[in-house]
Structure 1
Amino acid sequence: MQPIVTPQQMAGLDRYAIETLAIPGLLLMENAGRGIADTAVQMIAPSGNRLVHIFCGPGNNGGDGYVVARHLRNQGYEIELFILADREKIKGDGLINLQILEKMDQKLHFGLPQPAGLKKPGLIIDALLGTGAKTPVTGAFAQAVELINEMDAPVLAIDIPTGVNAETGAVEGPAVKADVTCTMALLKSGLLWPPAREYCGEIQVKDISLPHQALQALPADQWLVEAADAAARLPLRRRDAYKNQVGSAAVVAGSLGFCGAAALSAAACLRSGAGLCYLAFPASLNTVMAAKLTEVVLWPMPDHDQGFLTEEGLKTVLTMINNQHACAIGPGLGQEASTCQLVYSLLEQLTLPLVLDADGLNICSRNTAALKNCRADRILTPHPGELARLLNCSTAEIALDRASAARYAAKMFNAVVVLKGGPTCIAAPDGRLYINSTGNPGMATAGSGDVLTGLIVSLLAQGLNSLDAALTGVYVHGLAGDSAKQQFGEAGMMAGDILNKLADALMTLKGY
């Protein structure tokens, strides 16, 4: 997995490399600048315009900009360097690289340029503030951001676009809209979260020769889930396998008006590799479910034609569930009082691996003690609104720092938490966080989450532990969504399209 770090963690890694491993900071800056210059050359090539505007701030981000300027100048590019800092305030490695440029007779402009006097560049490089900035940009920096955005030229940001919070991805004021962002050594957490993703463009990680010993000494606690990570966790079938050996799952779902949610989850469970799926649902919906689902084993539970599950069926449901390998509760379940009591009783008595989604989570938000006291290994799959109800806060508060919210919930409920969104993140109770790399906005469609629930419970039933089932399920779900996008586009995609692409996604990862 590709490690992800916060700005504070990256600063610690830099210090370790410099102070413990005796690697000069000047060398790290040189490596960074050389790599960025390579990307700059590629970005300039299509236009043939060899004029480059580089905006530098007072710190090391500006120092990287000076190194880039030198390498580009050495290759014959015309450099206009705009420095938003007093000369005497530039220190350390940045100052050394600035002095080199001065000795090369590079013309320096201290302060903002006048837009009317600027020639159109082939590339603009943002080396203003970098990952250390935490507050919204103001004054000359805000003016520089506006100028960069107004110029009709490609933009390359160093480490992170100015104005974007490198830890949370928040944008609270003016921010550079980059076409490419070159980040140093490791992915920064803020690059992956909204709204930052709309400002970063293509993200490239530049090797600065940071030794592995640094990350071993100061290990990351966030990772990006990629294809190899999911493929390595997918269960393999024996040549002599039969259906009871490859996973049997129960899904407790459905109510009047929400048959589709139950059907999508149950079908996704089978499509993701489980040998058997049993669906417990209100008996009055049997005609609809029988028409929708051919391969799923149906458990119509007595509901007195009310269209929702009741605590009356608890004993029967428990007996059926306990004969399976895993269980999912919640899609389209409804929140009638008797349904709530059924869910609370199930949580009290179940011990097999469990996925809670949708109304299963909404019901638990009324009685979080039932969720906390559950003895089963459990995976919670909320969207931000459902998580807000569980944590008794607003959706806006969740959106401010989704990573922290997911981690907090995972610790509070001692569960793996899958916080759905763009991107989806998976939090473990011990604080580890995984960010998914697949998926697209077309998956923001009714029923998409129900497909994910069926996929995850299928992987649980096939023997994966809760964390592996969650991060693998999320990756496969996103990959299926990406495949559906190729056929239907984002606007035309439906949950059933994602369901129908699950097999393609699994074949892509498994190779058969």
Structure 2
Amino acid sequence: MKVVSGEQMRSIETRLFDQYGFSSAVLMELAGRQVALVAREMMEGLSGPVVVVCGKGNNGGDGLVAARWLRHWGFRVSAVVWASFDDLPPDAAGALHAARMAGVTILMPAQAQEALQGAALIIDAVLGTGSVGSARGQAAEAIKLINAARRPVLAVDMPSGIGTNTGRVDGPAVRADVTVTFGLPKLGLFLFPGADLAGRVIVVDIGLDEKAIEAENIQVELTRAEIARAWLRTYSRDAHKGTRGRVFVAAGSRGMTGAGALAGEAALRVGAGLVTVAAPESSQPVIAALRPEFMTLALPGSAAGGFSARAAELFLQAAARADALAVGPGLGTDPEAQLFTRAVVADATAPLVLDADAIKAFSGCPELLAECPMPLVITPHPGEMAHLLGLSVEVVQADRFAAVRRAAEVTKAIVLLKGAYTLIAEPGGEVYINPTGSRVLGTGGSGDVLTGVIAGLLAQGLGAPEAAAAGAFLHGLAGDRIAQRMGEDGVLASEIAAELPAAQRDLRAGLPDVIEFRG
């Protein structure tokens, strides 16, 4: 599913008007009715009126159309309009007239507080995707009253006060229980802090033409369950360990042996046939004792208990028949380990995943990663991304799309920027947004599990972009399953790894999308 900026959405709508004979009034009617349908669902089991809070733009017009439909279905409905009739654009003015004629009670802003306090449901139609900057004036006052009422809120297209493209909240912003967004989801719904205010997101069809969407050349995609499922390999009944791919992992320096074990286990749990964890000779016995299902390899260690630089050649020789490599979990940051990493990247013989300390080996010189001769996936968290690009964490988080695209362009790698709504970027600018996962994943070792998942998928023949996007989806899905069963706090990374087979089973069987789409 494509994800758009406000400008792209307006361009699509303009193309519909100019080339396909649509009118803005028709789109407003379609959008408003979809809002009304969701509002009708939300009103099940509730008693009392619906109050629609309308701004002076076409977003307010959408709300007025919804109000008219709800009144037609027998609900008590009032609309607070924060503009005079003469200040409304033509379509919104027409919607106001139609709503009044249908029996919707039209209220003045001075009546808003009392009406909102008595509402069963509030529909936020104050600001649309065309608003720029923080909410000001009457819009800000309306938003404050909506939040103060503490009633269920349905937002129209975007919760008012959230940056459509950035998710920024620079002033008052509506906290919605449900957001109905039109045609295609907007970027700001997947960027924080705005994403935290959107509640459940429902994407509704308003008749957008596929050709009009394709002409916009949109480069951001939300990973849907059906797409992730299509990426997974299927096997015949006579498949065996030799046909499911071989993974070699370099991980687990002294004091961090668990990281190597988690990555190795995750590669197996996602379906790789054979996994070997290579570790410094002082760590190898410990890792071997942690998980009997994978093999281990002892390599020369450094004085610090990490990998010796000369171990790189031995690792690559041992991994000559591997289908995927992974380097980084618990690797360590001593100079020898950094040299080891650079040597493996320069002479890699199979698709490679770099995580954690392995990424730090390229801090300040990300262009060296472009020299990797094999497909490369790197999986930084915001701090590692900041070090890699020479930025602050605040700059990375302020525009995650720009950061992940820049990293992919410089490194020529598939870059997975961790965090809520993980982003996966290709060097050409294409970005996948991962919809699965929660704070369950914010536990020590979770990133090591993700590294193993991606390596396991690479070994089974997935391309680097698909392995990264499907890996993030499965990793998050495993966390979501645990959260439903155990709650979101106190979950161990090993439990996330153990949940991967069930997550993959569910994905293969068919899952509803995390972000709901209604045709």
Q: TM-score range by the shorter chain?
A: over 0.9
CA 1:369–1:430 in structure 2 vs 1: closer, same or farther (change >3 Å)? closer
Q: Find 1:282's aligned residue among 277, 280, 283.
A: 280
CA 1:119–1:164 in structure 2 vs 1: closer, same or farther (change >3 Å)? closer
Q: Tell me, yes or no, if the aligned pair for 2:67 and 2:104 is still in contact at 8 Å.
A: no
CA distance in 2, matches of 1:82, 1:467: 48
CA distance in 2, matches of 1:4, 1:114: 34
1:22 matched to 2:3? The reply is no
Q: How does 1:483-498 map to 2 (within 5 A)?
A: 483-498=481-496
Q: What value does the CA root-mean-square deviation take over the aligned residues? A: 1.9
Q: Find 1:209's aligned residue among 198, 207, 210.
A: 207
CA distance in 2, matches of 1:459, 1:105: 58
1:385 matched to 2:379? The reply is no
Give the match for residue 47 of structure 1: 46
Give the match for residue 314 of structure 1: 312
Q: Find 2:95's aligned residue among 89, 97, 119.
A: 97
Q: Tell me, yes or no, if the aligned pair for 1:112 and 1:144 is still in contact at 8 Å.
A: no
1:118 CA displacement = 6.2
Give the match for residue 397 of structure 2: 399
Q: Tell me the secondary structure at the aligned position of residue 156 of structure 1.
A: strand
Q: How does 1:163-178 map to 2 (within 5 A)?
A: 163-178=161-176
Point out where structure 2 has 5 or more consecutive residues left out of the alignment: 511-519
1:465 matched to 2:463? The reply is yes
CA 1:7–1:114 in structure 2 vs 1: closer, same or farther (change >3 Å)? closer
Give the match for residue 363 of structure 2: 365
Question: Quick one: percent identity of the two aligned structures?
Answer: 39
Q: Tell me the secondary structure at the aligned position of residue 307 of structure 1.
A: coil
Q: Tell me the secondary structure at the aligned position of residue 36 of structure 1.
A: helix
1:163 CA displacement = 0.6
Give the match for residue 67 of structure 1: 65
Point out where structure 1 has 5 or more consecutive residues left out of the alignment: none
1:218 CA displacement = 2.5
CA 1:425–1:30 in structure 2 vs 1: closer, same or farther (change >3 Å)? same
1:444 CA displacement = 0.5
1:313 CA displacement = 1.9
CA distance in 2, matches of 1:356, 1:499: 18
CA 1:118–1:206 in structure 2 vs 1: closer, same or farther (change >3 Å)? closer
CA distance in 1, matches of 2:115, 2:477: 48
Q: Tell me, yes or no, if the aligned pair for 1:322 and 1:350 is still in contact at 8 Å.
A: no
1:12 matched to 2:11? The reply is yes
CA distance in 2, matches of 1:244, 1:418: 29
- The Cα offsets for residues 140-195 of structure 1, whole Å up to 9 and x where unpaired, read as 21111111111132111100111111112121211011111111111112112222
Question: What is the identity, as a one-letter code, of the residue corresponding to 1:450?
Answer: D
CA 1:374–1:75 in structure 2 vs 1: closer, same or farther (change >3 Å)? same
CA 1:141–1:303 in structure 2 vs 1: closer, same or farther (change >3 Å)? same
CA 1:488–1:71 in structure 2 vs 1: closer, same or farther (change >3 Å)? closer
CA 1:47–1:325 in structure 2 vs 1: closer, same or farther (change >3 Å)? same
Q: Tell me, yes or no, if the aligned pair for 2:302 and 2:336 is still in contact at 8 Å.
A: no
TM-score relative to the length of structure 2: 0.94
Give the match for residue 76 of structure 2: 78
CA distance in 2, matches of 1:353, 1:323: 12
Q: Tell me, yes or no, if the aligned pair for 1:379 and 1:416 is still in contact at 8 Å.
A: yes
Q: Tell me the secondary structure at the aligned position of residue 299 of structure 1.
A: strand
CA distance in 1, matches of 2:101, 2:294: 76
Q: Tell me, yes or no, if the aligned pair for 2:279 and 2:298 is still in contact at 8 Å.
A: yes
Question: What is the identity, as a one-letter code, of the residue corresponding to 1:3?
Answer: K
Q: How does 1:237-248 map to 2 (within 5 A)?
A: 237-248=235-246
Give the match for residue 58 of structure 1: 56
- The Cα offsets for residues 429-480 of structure 1, whole Å up to 9 and x where unpaired, read as 1111111121111110000010010010111111111011111111111111
Q: Tell me, yes or no, if the aligned pair for 1:253 and 1:261 is still in contact at 8 Å.
A: yes
Q: Tell me the secondary structure at the aligned position of residue 74 of structure 2.
A: coil
Give the match for residue 180 of structure 2: 182
CA distance in 1, matches of 2:151, 2:261: 50
Q: Tell me, yes or no, if the aligned pair for 1:255 and 1:282 is still in contact at 8 Å.
A: yes
Question: What is the identity, as a one-letter code, of the residue corresponding to 1:431?
Answer: G
1:204 CA displacement = 1.4
Q: Find 2:221's aligned residue among 207, 223, 231.
A: 223
Give the match for residue 251 of structure 1: 249
CA 1:42–1:433 in structure 2 vs 1: closer, same or farther (change >3 Å)? same
Question: What is the identity, as a one-letter code, of the residue corresponding to 1:409?
Answer: A
CA 1:338–1:239 in structure 2 vs 1: closer, same or farther (change >3 Å)? same
- The Cα offsets for residues 119-160 of structure 1, whole Å up to 9 and x where unpaired, read as 601221111111112201122211111111111321111001
CA distance in 1, matches of 2:117, 2:339: 71
Q: Tell me, yes or no, if the aligned pair for 2:422 and 2:433 is still in contact at 8 Å.
A: yes
CA distance in 2, matches of 1:117, 1:187: 31
Question: What is the identity, as a one-letter code, of the residue corresponding to 1:28?
Answer: L
CA distance in 1, matches of 2:413, 2:87: 49
Segment drifting more, 284-293 vs 356-365: 284-293
CA distance in 2, matches of 1:402, 1:494: 27
Q: Tell me, yes or no, if the aligned pair for 1:120 and 1:152 is still in contact at 8 Å.
A: no
Segment drifting more, 105-114 vs 396-405: 105-114
Give the match for residue 236 of structure 1: 234
CA distance in 1, matches of 2:509, 2:127: 44
Q: Find 1:130's aligned residue among 116, 124, 128.
A: 128
CA distance in 2, matches of 1:370, 1:212: 40
Give the total of aligned pairs: 510
Q: Tell me, yes or no, if the aligned pair for 1:330 and 1:361 is still in contact at 8 Å.
A: yes
Q: Tell me, yes or no, if the aligned pair for 1:112 and 1:140 is still in contact at 8 Å.
A: no
Q: Find 2:414's aligned residue among 388, 413, 416.
A: 416
Give the match for residue 448 of structure 2: 450
CA distance in 1, matches of 2:493, 2:381: 16
Give the match for residue 435 of structure 2: 437
CA distance in 2, matches of 1:70, 1:489: 41
CA 1:304–1:221 in structure 2 vs 1: closer, same or farther (change >3 Å)? closer
1:213 CA displacement = 2.6
1:103 CA displacement = 4.7
Give the match for residue 481 of structure 1: 479
Question: What is the identity, as a one-letter code, of the residue corresponding to 1:94?
Answer: A
Q: Tell me the secondary structure at the aligned position of residue 364 of structure 1.
A: coil
CA distance in 1, matches of 2:263, 2:424: 20
CA distance in 2, matches of 1:64, 1:260: 54
